[in-house]
Amino acid sequence: MLVISFTANNNASAKLEAQENHVKHLPPQGMSRASQLLPFVPFSKTTLFEWSKDGRFPASVKLSPTMTAWRNSDVIAWLEGQSSDAKGA
For residue 37, being part of any structural domain is answered with yes
Q: Convert the pLDDT of each residue in 57-88 to its tens digit.
A: 999 999 999 999 999 999 999 999 987 776 66
Q: Convert the pLDDT of each residue in 8-46 to its tens digit.
A: 556 666 566 655 655 578 889 999 999 999 998 999 999
For residue 19, being part of any structural domain is answered with no
Domains identified in the chain, total number: 1
For residue 3, being part of any structural domain is answered with no
Q: What is the CATH number of the domain that holds 36?
A: 1.10.10
For residue 23, being part of any structural domain is answered with no
The three-state secondary structure class of 71 is strand
Query: What CA–CA distances, in Å, run from 79 to 20, 65, 66, 67?
Result: 23, 27, 26, 23
